[in-house]
Amino acid sequence: MYKSLLTFPLWVALLGAPVASATDAANTEGLFKEHCAGCHGTTRTGAMGPALLPENLSRLRKKEAIEVIGHGRAATQMPAFSEKLTTAQIASLADLIYTAPPVSPAWTIDDIRTSQVIYHPEGSLPDKPKYQADLQNLFIVVELGDHSATLLNGDTFEPIHRFKTRFALHGGPKYSPDGRYVYFASRDGWISKYDIYNMEFVAEVRAAINTRNLAVSYDGKYAIVGNYLPHNLVILDTRDLSPVKVINVEDEAGTSSRVSAVYTAPPRQSFIAALKDLKEVWEIPYDNNPEFKVRRIKVDDYLDDFFFDPSYKHLIGASRDSDDGQVVDMDAGKKTHTVDLAGMPHLGSGITWEYQGKPILATPNLKEGQISFIDMTTWKVIKRIETKGPGFFMRSHENTPYAWVDVFFGPNKDLMHIIDKRTLEIVKTLQPAPGKTAAHVEFTQDGKYALMSIWDMDGAVVVYDANTFEEIKRIPMKKPSGKYNVFNKTTYSRGTSH
């Protein structure tokens, strides 16, 4: 337990002046309670400001945190403390927020229920869109730069509406099967349901303290949220985001695990979860399974990233420490093949197509400048090609002969390769904005145009003709990350991840 708050002023009084010693945890706790807790929560789980726990801060370097505490963050409510606190005090606060609390904060189903906000009850908003557009060819573009999203017309490439999201969205937003609603998950566990026709949030709930991603069932009835904190999966009723069930993630011996990611497997009518700390894959059927009983599939190694073949009969997973991938037969519930995968393939971003009459899987690699092509009938790597650096996203579309892959990491992050799916060769390398990360391509419904992110505060979505690679339009955006086409996502296009 922490030292009691009450002892703190006495302690300070005895010393005569506030003394900051990075080693004095109680003093730092006191500073936090005095200056930060009002906005970030007494247990650091977040309030008006974001959660400040190590899991939540994994994308912010400590150096940057020190900068933010000292100087605040422009155009936000985060104030500057360099006038009020010494450099040593700021450093000790930074140390504190990167340290896990002695007791992991809880977030129960009652906390989830209490957090729920319903802005517009089901059926209270009109069923007719407030604008004219092809509703299947809309895009939602997530702009991480200022925690916003843009609803984009996929025919004219004109933004229809721009709105604020929760702080730091995490994992791709997911559509309802009819494309009317989109569900967002934030780093701090907030799930928001947005009505695309009326351009309004309809409900929100805080499902966890630190969330990885969310998936929506094929029938549209349930959303499932995969979490790092607490170690659980939360099932929500998509009508108003009420919690239906919290599934604690632990093995039969009671060892708990974080959830790396959760997916929906349409032909199986189930959700499938990848676990970070257990050698198991979980399948949770949502049809005829009112208790959401879990089917555990034991695997040889931790699988924190994986890919399904289009039938969802096989799962191919990559392990953290091994060069081998595992192929799991989902019906038999066991591993059937090993795939020779060097480095760290990003299977979650893999795509499939027919090559010389066979289905193949192509995946970039997070550690090496390399694309692997795997024959999905034999599970052998049939080819590897070199790229200008490790990639993150690979994308294509049924109607284009090309696959686009970024060079997300390293000095060549401003390049984008285009691969011919018929020859498995790079045919073009684009550099849309020198020095700025070019990433994440998504296609229009018909596959004729490719939209690419310039992942920068002074960024853009660049629209290309997908056949000639000619630039058509540049739409300014603030650090656009992913963009999501309603049709391609709701029809589970083989050229995009789900």
Contacts of ligand HEC in 317-376 (CB under 6 A): none
Q: How far is the C-alpha of 495 from the C-alpha of 390, rounded, in Å?
A: 19
Pick the closer one to ligand HEC by CB: 81 or 282: 81
Minimum CB distance to ligand HEC smaller for 42 or for 378: 42
Characterize the bridge pairing of strands 324-329 and 314-318: antiparallel
Which tokens hold the place of 206?
């805080």
Nearest partner of 309 among 401, 374, 243, 250, judged by Cα: 374
| For ligand HEC, the closer CB: 64 or 158 | 64
The interface region with ligand HEC, picked from 70-78, 190-198, 258-266, 436-444 by CB under 6 A, is: 70-78
Candidates 67-75, 202-210, 319-327, 468-476: pick the segment binding ligand HEC (CB under 6 A). 67-75
What single-letter DSSP state applies at residue 240? T
Among the listed residues 404, 337, 348, the one whose alpha carbon sits nearest the alpha carbon of residue 376: 337
Window of 65-73, 100-108, 260-268, 372-380 that interacts with ligand HEC by CB under 6 A: 65-73
For ligand HEC (CB under 6 A), the number of binding residues is 21
d(CA 412, CA 432): 12
Stretch 21-60: interaction string toward ligand HEC, x if CB under 6 A: --------------xx-xxx--------xx-x----x--x
Is 37 or 426 the residue whose CB approaches ligand HEC more closely?
37
Rounded Cα–Cα distance for residues 10 and 17 (Å): 11
Is residue 487 at the binding interface for ligand HEC, with CB under 6 A as the rule?
no
Q: Cβ atoms within 10 A of the Cβ of 242, count? A: 14
Q: Are 275 and 284 in contact (CB under 8 A)?
A: no
Using CB under 6 A as the binding rule, whether residue 69 contacts ligand HEC is answered as yes
Footprint of ligand HEC on 115-174 (CB under 6 A) = 167
Q: Which is nearer to ligand HEC, 97 or 247 (CB)?
A: 97
Q: Residue 45: count other Cβ atoms within 10 Å of its Cβ.
A: 24
Query: Which of 81, 286, 306, 307 is the binder for ligand HEC (CB under 6 A)?
Result: 81
Q: Where are the beta strands (DSSP E) in 356-436?
A: 358-363, 370-375, 380-386, 394-395, 402-406, 416-420, 425-430
Answer for which of 26, 78, 366, 426 binds ligand HEC (CB under 6 A) is 78
**How far apart, in whole angstroms, are the C-alpha atoms of residue 178 and residue 174?**
11
By CB under 6 A, name the one of 62, 73, 320, 358 that touches ligand HEC. 73
CB of 438 to ligand HEC, least distance (A): 24
Among 191, 180, 196, residue whose Cα is nearest residue 116: 191
- Of residues 68 and 117, the one with the C-beta less far from ligand HEC: 68
Query: What does the buried/exposed string (b/e) look like for 162-194 if buried means 16 or more CB atoms within 10 Å of the residue's CB?
Result: beebbbbbbbbbbbbeebbbbbbbbbbbbbbbb
Q: How far is CA 455 from the centre of its chain?
A: 15
The alpha carbon of 59 is separated from its chain's Cα centroid by a whole number of angstroms, namely 12
Write each residue from 90 to 109 as x if it is in contact with ligand HEC (CB under 6 A), else as -, in one continuous string. Answer: ---x----------------
In this chain, which of 4, 23, 77, 132 binds ligand HEC, going by CB under 6 A?
A: 77
Nearer to ligand HEC, 53 or 450 (CB): 53
Only one of the segments 78-86, 194-202, 207-215, 285-293 lies at the binding site for ligand HEC (rule: CB under 6 A); that segment is: 78-86
210-216 β-sheet, strand order: 210-216, 222-229, 232-237, 242-248
Q: How far is the CB of 269 from ligand HEC (least distance, A)?
A: 37
Nearer to ligand HEC, 94 or 463 (CB): 94
Whether residue 241 contacts residue 154, with contact meaning beta carbons closer than 8 Å, is answered with no
Residues near ligand HEC, by CB under 6 A: 35-36, 38-40, 49-50, 52, 57, 60, 65, 68-69, 73, 76-79, 81, 93, 167
